[in-house]
Amino acid sequence: MSHVLHIDVSPMGDHSVSRQVANAYVEAFTASHKDVAVVTRDLAADPVPHLDGETIMAGYIPAEQRTPSQVAKFTYRMELVEEVKSSQEIVISTPMWNWQVPSVLKAWIDQIIIPGVLDASSEAATVNARVTVVVAQGGSYKEGAPRHGWDYLTGYMKQVFGSMGVKDVEVILAEFTLAGVAPGMETFVDNKKASIDAAIETAKARASK
């Protein structure tokens, strides 16, 4: 059954900006698509395991040769893949940590990308969902900022879903989220509020399309 797949990453719960913006997206989408279910996967509360040798090898050997442990791990992996492939919308909310994705999100990505199963190699292996990635950044990494070019998350997430054949990927940024929290960023509090408000409005507008 087609559904909205909502992936949350931040461990900050109700204090998470990325969750706040993504929730606004999901609420706006479901308000106009009342028959569409929402499947939520909270990677902070229930992280997926990182790939290990057993899991990797299970994808390269015949099913009848897999050990019971490999069967269980590969079955779990395919459940994650099916969640993605049967999605109408995919919404991911994540902070940017050290200029990249948090490890729990990387673990989920590594689990679902399987050559010939979920990639752009054939139509049967591609994803037809529209993807929205909400990213909370402690500062700003846009052109003109002191750390312009340090954002390795945005391009990576577009590459990840592009490799699955997704045609419509949009990244929504909420910047300066550490303003008022981290010492030295007090002067950016107004920028923070403006950026979060803009991100929420962008999310609602995209969800309503």
Confidence check: pLDDT of 140 > 80:
yes
pLDDT value of residue 121: 78
pLDDT value of residue 154: 97
pLDDT value of residue 151: 97
> Which residues does residue 118 pair with via DSSP β-bridges, in sequence order?
114
Taking alpha carbons only, the member of 171, 172, 190 closest to residue 180 is: 190
pLDDT value of residue 168: 95
Angle at 40 between CA 35 and CA 42, to 5 degrees: 170
Confidence check: pLDDT of 124 > 80:
no
Q: How confident is the model at residue 122 (pLDDT cuts 50, 70, 90)?
A: confident
Confidence check: pLDDT of 1 > 70:
no
Helix (H, G, I), strand (E, B) or coil at 177: coil
Confidence check: pLDDT of 107 > 60:
yes
Rounded distance between C-alpha atoms, residue 176 and residue 174, angstroms = 7
> Which residues does residue 97 pair with via DSSP β-bridges, in sequence order?
100
CB 18 within 8 A of CB 174: yes
Rounded distance between C-alpha atoms, residue 174 and residue 203, angstroms = 11
How much is the mean pLDDT over the chain?
A: 94
Helix (H, G, I), strand (E, B) or coil at 40: strand
Confidence check: pLDDT of 22 > 60:
yes
Q: How confident is the model at residue 114 (pLDDT cuts 50, 70, 90)?
A: confident
Rounded distance between C-alpha atoms, residue 7 and residue 20, angstroms = 13
- Domains of the chain by start residue, with CATH: 3-207 (3.40.50.360)
Q: Which amino acid is at 106?
A: K
Confidence check: pLDDT of 123 > 80:
no
8, 67, 75, 86, 120 from 192: Cα distances, Å: 21, 51, 43, 36, 37
> What is the b/e burial string over 117-153, where b = at least 16 CB atoms within 10 angstroms of the residue's CB?
bbbeeeeebbbebbbbbbbbbbbbbeeeeeeeeebeb
pLDDT tens digits, 164-198: 999 999 999 999 999 999 999 999 999 999 999 99
By residue count, the chain amounts to 209
CB 8 within 8 A of CB 47: no
Q: What integer is the mean pLDDT of 60-82?
A: 96
What percentage of the chain has pLDDT greater than the value 70?
Answer: 100
**DSSP secondary structure letters along 103-125:** HHHHHHHHHH-BTTTBSTTSGGG
